[in-house]
Structure 1
Amino acid sequence: MTTTAPSSLEETESPYALSHLDALESEGVHIFREVAGEFERPVILFSGGKDSIVMLHLALKAFAPAAVPFTLLHVDTGHNFPEVIEYRDRVVAEHGLRLHVASVQEYIDAGKLRERPDGTRNPLQTVPLTEAIQQHRFDAVFGGGRRDEEKARAKERVFSLRDEFSQWDPRRQRPELWQLYNGRHAPGEHVRVFPLSNWTELDVWQYISREEIELPEIYFAHEREVFQRSGMWLTAGEWGGPRADETVVKRQVRYRTVGDMSCTGAVDSDATSLQAVITEIAASRLTERGATRADDKMSEAAMEDRKREGYF
């Protein structure tokens, strides 16, 4: 009896094999269901940015047709893009979700935090975040961090243990072989959970395109008044920009990531559609945070320092 070798690579592949995006989606859905089975009070961080939007989409899929069994939490700096806040509130209302907002402005008004000289509020998010976790006794907190974003985030496990002060110690992180996640934690501790750990920025955009997920309009090219600082195009606002020596110009730009207006830069772009954005990202050699986030440029270890203090 003779056998014939397959004539092509395609013939060797199983017709039941998952595509790359299907595998990532399956992993994310599994993580959400695992947390629902292990923890009592999980919460999803939701800012209205693309990663948290995809994360919420996975949660909706994980529990459909039932409702998502978690609340949402947003740490609002007070300097967020209005388009993103409008999107956040609309999505929450559409899906009948409950949203907790931890306001940096309220902490400043109460004297618990002080404005930074540069006007940036992203580093001020840690205290409202950790206190909200303690106040509501959240024991699992979903975040949209990805390992390709920044070298400190590349050290994270999917289940990231935090101590009673919400601090991160990379030496205490546990191995996660064969997608087995250890959610054990002592009273007062909690676990940060990252369902998008193995996704890249390109994966996120391709998934958004496949699933036809709506995004805030600032992710696509549009005309905007901006000024240049530290090599980035920033949006003018009440946070303190522009200075007297900084000229406001109108340019066609879009945002690769959204955060505090004072430290999130736009990029020149003519990508007005999902496919155009995907083509642009595929050709880029800079990560979104490296290209557009001033708060990550404060030092080589800026993100890791903030993570140790309790930030994501």
Structure 2
Amino acid sequence: MTTTTYLEALEAEAAHIMRETAGEFDRPVLLFSGGKDSIVMLHIAVKAFAPAPVPFPLLHVDTGHNFPEVIEFRDRVTAGLRLTVASVQDYIDRGVLPDVPERNGLQTTPLLDAIEAGGHDAVFGGGRRDEEKARAKERVFSLRDEFGGWDPRRQRPELWNLYNGRHSPGEHVRVFPLSNWTELDVWQYIAAEDIALPSIYYAHEREVFDRRGMWLCPGAWGGHAERLVRRTVRYRTVGDMSCTGAVESAARTPAEVVEEIAASRITERGATRADDRLAEAAMEDRKREGYF
């Protein structure tokens, strides 16, 4: 008798969600940032549809302030796949968006425009319920209105792994295959599957400055007036450099990261994302406007 492990069960659930989405929707797309969650999603998608190719394209919203190591990794991993890059800088150059130091909040307009231009009726995201309170409210299939906005009151029941993808013209559904995973699950899966990640997920020496208790990299958003120091750090999550902080760490392998996370009592977003500290409902407010 074969016993299914916990990680195998999580992988099977995610693969089932992806296959259901591919069968139920006309033009799905997978958001791929080069971060660990999107890398795990792509890894599962490749396994779920093998030996056929992944049946949907990838989409990345590039703020222009992304970590160079992550962009290099993104381009290398997606070679041969269909990748569309929506550039925040393009919108700034055209005067559609303001040129501000912190660009994370500027991603919504390029994202929604890319979804509309591609005619995408389903969008895979790597959001997990353990990350943040607003994400904990969402179903696996999360309906968005014609403006990309999220209304918690329109959540649908999801019993017995049955997912309701019905939507009106102009609406789309955000799909979260990793919804039931935790950060620890993700890292245990990375270790078990020997999945490659950008180097910044592991301990390395970097020049950083302290802002409100977070170690940030210097750039257009700061670090010139602040005191720069060199620290051995790693990143628990990656995103826009203006709001993504590092944590001091000596973990240089997936096994060491698993051990470190197992002892942690704060989520990666709570520990390293300045944009989530702006207000108690910062993430939920952004979701209502169309953000992931």
Establish whether TM, by shorter chain, passes 0.5.
Answer: yes
Tell me the alpha carbon deviations over residues 209-242 of structure 1, each in whole angstroms, 9 at most, x when there is no partner.
00000000000000001111110111112x2321
Q: Quick one: distance in 2 between partners of 1:164 and 1:301?
A: 23
Trace 1:274-293 onto structure 2 (pairs within 5 A): 274-293=254-273
Q: Tell me the C-alpha RMSD between the 2 structures.
A: 0.7
Task: Tell me if structure 1 keeps the 8 A contact 2:218–2:224.
Answer: no
Match of 1:307, SS state, is helix
Task: Tell me if structure 1 keeps the 8 A contact 2:30–2:123.
Answer: yes
Trace 1:228-247 onto structure 2 (pairs within 5 A): 228-237=210-219, 239-244=220-225, 246-247=226-227
Alignment equivalent of 1:251, drawn from 231, 247, 252: 231
Alignment equivalent of 1:103, drawn from 87, 112, 119: 87
Trace 1:171-210 onto structure 2 (pairs within 5 A): 171-210=153-192
Amino acid at match of 1:100: T
Q: Quick one: distance in 2 between partners of 1:146 and 1:240?
A: 28
Trace 1:57-136 onto structure 2 (pairs within 5 A): 57-93=43-79, 96-116=80-100, 119-136=101-118
Deviation for aligned residue 1:282? 0.3
Trace 1:147-166 onto structure 2 (pairs within 5 A): 147-166=129-148
Match of 1:141, SS state, is strand
Amino acid at match of 1:80: N
2:278 paired with 1:298: yes
Please, what TM-score do these two structures have when normalized by structure 2?
Answer: 0.99
Amino acid at match of 1:17: T
Partner of 1:309: 289
Alignment equivalent of 2:205, drawn from 204, 223, 234: 223
Q: Which has the larger radius of gyration?
A: 1
Q: Quick one: distance in 2 between partners of 1:36 and 1:286?
A: 35
Trace 1:20-35 onto structure 2 (pairs within 5 A): 20-35=6-21
Q: Quick one: distance in 2 between partners of 1:138 and 1:18?
A: 34
Tell me the alpha carbon deviations over residues 115-172 of structure 1, each in whole angstroms, 9 at most, x when there is no partner.
33xx111111001001111111100000000000000000000000001111100111
Amino acid at match of 1:143: G
Deviation for aligned residue 1:243? 3.7
Q: Quick one: distance in 1 between partners of 2:148 and 2:231?
A: 41
Q: Quick one: distance in 2 between partners of 1:228 and 1:300?
A: 22
Percent of pairs with identical residues: 75
Q: Which runs of 5+ in 2 are unaligned?
A: none
Partner of 1:17: 3
Q: Quick one: distance in 2 between partners of 1:260 and 1:112?
A: 19
Q: Quick one: distance in 2 between partners of 1:57 and 1:272?
A: 22
* Structure 1 runs, 4 residues or longer, greater than 2 Å off: none
- The count of residues paired between Structure 1 and Structure 2 equals 292
Q: Quick one: distance in 2 between partners of 1:310 and 1:284?
A: 31
Q: Which runs of 5+ in 1 are unaligned?
A: 1-14
Deviation for aligned residue 1:109? 0.8
Alignment equivalent of 1:265, drawn from 235, 245, 260: 245
